A and B are shown apart, each in its own frame.
Chain A
Amino acid sequence: MASIRLFLTLTLIAIIVLVSFLSSLRGYRESMSEAETLFDMQLQEHAKLLSLISPSTNTSGAAKLLEELVLPKQGDLELSAESLIAYQVFDDQGVLVMRSVMAPSVAMSPLEVGYSDRNFSGYRWRVLVIHNPDEQRWVMAAQRLDVRYELAESVILEAVIPTVLSIPLAAVLIWFIVGYGLRPIGQLAQAVRSREVSDLSAVRLDNVPGELTPLTLSTNDLLRRLQSSFNREKRFAADAAHELRTPISILKVQIHNLLEEMAAPSATLQELQLSIDAMGHLVEQILVLNRTAPDQYMVQFLPIDLYKLAQEVISSEYEAILEREQHFDLEGSSAIIRGDATALRSLVSNLIANASKYSPNHARIRMRIAQRGTRVSMLVEDSGPGIPAGYRERVFDRFYRLDGDRHASGVSGSGLGLAIVKHIVEMHSADIELSSSKELGGLCVSIQFDAAETKQEHKGILT
């Protein structure tokens, strides 16, 4: 992923490096050439002075040696010996009249007036040659180039080094400042990400920078539209189901009356009654589904004994089970979880109804409730045909039904049962898993709840 922070940091440092390094490089060069001019002027001063005070002729035959008397002591100024200037004085015939100790006995440069760079005595020298026609003297003054550079550089480097050393510091500062500057983006992202699923209210941030205002506004606009369409959809389903309840009850009463009135009710009429019952069931299920949608459930959870609750539900559903001559077991013992009694009843009844409905006559159904440590597990197994592994995710979708083999049993259903189960499971932050039952061979629904934590709550158990 391309990072804005990295990009800004790197390019900003690159710009600073380029600008400051190039300018200090230029400064270095300017200062060096300035220093060179100074050294050259120094050479010139020395040469001029020497041309005035040097002896007129080579009297003794050998060139006079100019001792370094000016120096206090060798040890006092270690560098001075090297930085000293070498002199040679020639007469007009080109005979060496005088030289300093460091100067060679042959001419350092041809007798041409001006500056030049020469190699002798194992070093490279800057040599100045001047000619004094009045005194008939050629004076040469030379200075070691490496020493000149070293001297000049030692001064100029002092100005360059801080620039170089300051770059890492600048880099660290830029990294943090860029990070700080980009923080509102992270905050906005965090504000959008961290909210609850159902929370579609506007994002509110303090001090939103100008650049982010359009994004914040459009995010909030999007959230608002989402909220209104979500509300519309939610209300529609619930309202429709609610509105359908009354006509369906009326239908039920009327078909009941019709059946009463007729001496021998026709088969069609009985089927009509069954269909109306199914429709009533569907509408009830839709209402439960909407009531239990996890994103809008706001009920205070209370401690509930799941085992006791299951017992109650089973006793009300038992008729249907007996009708199909199915064998039902409830195993386990008291297990307390925190939850909503109405929703949990709906959960258990849906699970039992499902198991019963989709298993053949004489099938076995078993429900087991047990507490293991901090978890309470509820297992519902049957000896029906089960659900193939590939469909186990899909069955939680609303109105999804496994067609074919299941429907061959002629069972009518809303396709909402497992969707409701899933809602209730999510509402209780529990986990649900579908697998095949090892012992009974059919479907095995396993739900894991968190057990209620404190023992005190056992006192106020509701079922």
Chain B
Amino acid sequence: MKFANVLKTLRHSLVRASCLLLLFALASTASAQTPVFEIEIREHLFFPAEFEIPANQKVKLIIYNRDPTPEEFESYELNREKVIVGNSQGVVFIGPLKPGEYPFFGEFNLKTALGKIIVK
């Protein structure tokens, strides 16, 4: 029954690791007072299309979708993607980021829903 033992220990260590991760995660949420930024989607456009956020700090971004259609907020540079259903809102945490420009876009409207975050 050696094999079952190995599996059991494996499973135990996995559970322990995930518990640790969860604790870690909870600790990190509680710690910082994160600045909040809001953007809106109207007629498949971002308003504001450009805005500034502070560098090296985690930021909470609330995206309001005023259109009846869903939109996917996405950015390769920010490594974020989130579907926001029509007439609702979504929250995305971003950062901490180095200073620079971080374009984002609405994946469902690549032509018009474009914007960028300027980190200073």
Contacts and interface: CB of A to CB of B under 8 A. Distances in A.
A146 B44 CA distance: 10
B111 to A, nearest CB: 5
B31 to A, nearest CB: 36
Contacts of B111: 124, 145-146, 149
B43 to A, nearest CB: 5
B18 interface: no
A144 to B, nearest CB: 9
A149 B110 CA distance: 11
A149 B49 CA distance: 20
B56 interface: no
Contact of A123 (B43, B46, B49): B43
A122 interface: yes
A143 to B, nearest CB: 13
A229 interface: no
Interface in A122-176: 122-124, 145-146, 149
Contacts of B42: 122
A344 to B, nearest CB: 67
B112 interface: yes
Interface string B27-59: 000000000000000111111010000000000
Contacts of A145: 111-112
B112 A122 contact: no
Contacts of A213: none
A119 interface: yes
A154 to B, nearest CB: 14
Contacts of B43: 122-123
Nearest to A120: B45
B98 to A, nearest CB: 26
A123 B47 CA distance: 11
Interface in A101-123: 117, 119, 122-123
A6 B35 CA distance: 58
B118 to A, nearest CB: 16
Contacts of B114: 117, 124
Interface string B15-30: 0000000000000000
A149 B112 CA distance: 10
Nearest to A150: B111
Contacts of A146: 44, 111-112
Contacts of B49: 119
A6 to B, nearest CB: 35
Interface string B107-120: 00001101000000
Nearest to A146: B112
A142 to B, nearest CB: 14
Contacts of A117: 114
A124 B113 CA distance: 9
Interface in B85-120: 111-112, 114
Contacts of A149: 111
A123 B111 CA distance: 12
A216 B114 CA distance: 66
B106 to A, nearest CB: 11
Interface string A29-68: 0000000000000000000000000000000000000000
Given A119-B45, A124-B111, A146-B44, 10 more contacts: A117-B114, A119-B49, A122-B42, A122-B43, A122-B45, A123-B43, A124-B114, A145-B111, A146-B111, A146-B112
Interface of A: 117, 119, 122-124, 145-146, 149
21 contacts: A117-B114, A119-B45, A119-B46, A119-B47, A119-B49, A122-B42, A122-B43, A122-B45, A123-B43, A123-B45, A123-B112, A124-B45, A124-B111, A124-B112, A124-B114, A145-B111, A145-B112, A146-B44, A146-B111, A146-B112, A149-B111
Report the 3 A-B pairs with minimum CB-CB distance, sorted nearest first. A124-B112, A122-B43, A119-B45
